[in-house]
Amino acid sequence: MIGAAGLLVLVQLQIHCMGGHGSVLWGGDRGAAQAGLAPASETGPERRYEFAAVHMGTTCRVTLYAASAERARQAADAALARIGFLDDVMSDYKPHSELNRLCRAFDGPNRLPVRVSTDLFVVLEEAERVSRRSEGAFDVTVGPLSILWRHARRTQELPDPQEFAAARRKVGYEKVRLEGRLQTVQLAVGGMQLDLGGIAKGYAADAALAVLREQFGIRRALVAVGGDIACGEPPPGERAWRVQIAPLRRNQPPRWLRLANAAVSTSGDLEQFVVIKGVRYSHVLDPRTGMGLTGRRSVTVIAPRGIQADSLTKAVSVLPPEKGLALVEEIAGAAAYIAVLEEDGRLIERSSRRFAEYLEQP
């Protein structure tokens, strides 16, 4: 299972994922209404197939168009197996994951760099870029604080001040040193715990989509890893996939996005929070202070790749809205939508310039 970096737990976009372990096949267009997607076109020889499996602590779904059920199943099994492999690489819950073995390598006196797999290095490189650009609003070194706040949610008590201070000393993206030529990682402080929950699911969606495209020639596909969605070419006869944003307020009208060859991720705190001594602490954690945010918000980011959308939602959730939107505007093709629920019940909405381009008009 992949933990959520900074206790950021994704609010799923409204694409229903079927439960169960292993691949689950629905022939043709069966289940399209439940999925919240536009009905598939009947033009052309390709038919729509959907598969699901549980990886990374969530339901992963593959929706694709293929000429036969056998081809569809082979492709989906390979794509879902890729996600399962990445879970074994990047989980902070599995003791023997590559990520946890890396962290343990620096628990003792050793401070020599450790060579890691390409998958892990690519994710850590992107994490470093987002951390620098967001000035630490996104930070995968937040693991020690994440653990304390998980305990706080269970006990409804704030973290112990001494444990909190000790955890903060182990946090800081500048403590992770990457060497691209040798593909090595060095952690500057013993006891550091990396948490890739705010970036790994987006990367996994990208990777699964690449398997479909590069190994099976399937380009009309959508991969959803929980609330992180990567879209390929649209369904036959359509110009885009339709994806609904989960509303922050229950009576808020739904919004539909139209996406092709793009990714989308949403982070929010509609259900994940804890009330301690009358204060509502969001599961969204500011890595720079170590504290859970006290406001209610939902952030949706669209980007060319899932790894970008996933990590940017976390940064934008923590940053002031104007800074978060400016950060997204710097990336070609990216867009963001921020919804903040005030204490008096008012809903304040902001969006970047390009967001309207992806929003389905009534």
The counts of H helices and E strands in the chain are 10, 15
What pLDDT, in 10s, does the model give residues 104-123? Answer: 999 888 789 999 999 999 99
Rounded to whole angstroms, how far apart are CA atoms 24 and 31?
A: 12
Task: List, in order, residues 6 or more apart from 66 with CB less than 8 Å away.
Answer: 46, 47, 49, 72, 75, 216, 218
Of 129, 153, 175, 131, nearest to 272 by C-alpha is 153
Residue corresponding to tokens 């760099």: 113
Query: Which residues are registered as beta bridge partners of 187?
Result: 176
Amino acid at 353: R
Q: What is the DSSP letter of 142?
A: G
pLDDT for position 271: 60
pLDDT for position 121: 98
Residues of the chain with pLDDT under 50: 1-44
Q: How far apart are the first and last CA of the chain?
A: 39
pLDDT for position 32: 27
Please answer whether residues 291 and 169 qualify as being in contact, where contact means their C-beta atoms are separated by less than 8 angstroms: no
pLDDT for position 338: 95
Rounded to whole angstroms, how far apart are CA atoms 94 and 49?
A: 31
Query: Domain 5-87+199-358 sits in which CATH superfamily?
Result: ApbE-like domains (3.10.520.10)
- Which DSSP string corresponds to 319-361? S-HHHHHHHHHTSTT-EEEEEEE-TTS-EEEEE-TTHHHHBPP
pLDDT for position 101: 97
The pair phi, psi for residue 296, each rounded to 5°, is -105, 130
Please answer whether residues 241 and 13 qualify as being in contact, where contact means their C-beta atoms are separated by less than 8 angstroms: no
Rounded to whole angstroms, how far apart are CA atoms 331 and 71?
A: 36
The structural domains of the chain, with segments of one domain joined by +, span: 5-87+199-358, 98-187
pLDDT for position 270: 60
| Helices within the chain (DSSP H only) | 32-35, 69-90, 98-104, 118-133, 143-155, 161-168, 200-216, 306-318, 321-329, 355-358
Hey, is 5 helix, strand or coil? helix
Chain length of the chain = 362
The pair phi, psi for residue 178, each rounded to 5°, is -110, 140
Q: Class of 98-187 per CATH?
A: mainly alpha
Amino acid at 69: A
Please state the three-class secondary structure of 67-95 as a single string.
CCHHHHHHHHHHHHHHHHHHHHHHCCCCC
Hey, is 294 helix, strand or coil? coil
279: enclosing H helix or E strand: strand 279-282
Please answer whether residues 68 and 27 qualify as being in contact, where contact means their C-beta atoms are separated by less than 8 angstroms: no
What pLDDT, in 10s, does the model give residues 3-52? Answer: 333 222 223 344 433 222 222 232 222 222 223 333 333 334 899 999 99
Please answer whether residues 88 and 204 qualify as being in contact, where contact means their C-beta atoms are separated by less than 8 angstroms: no
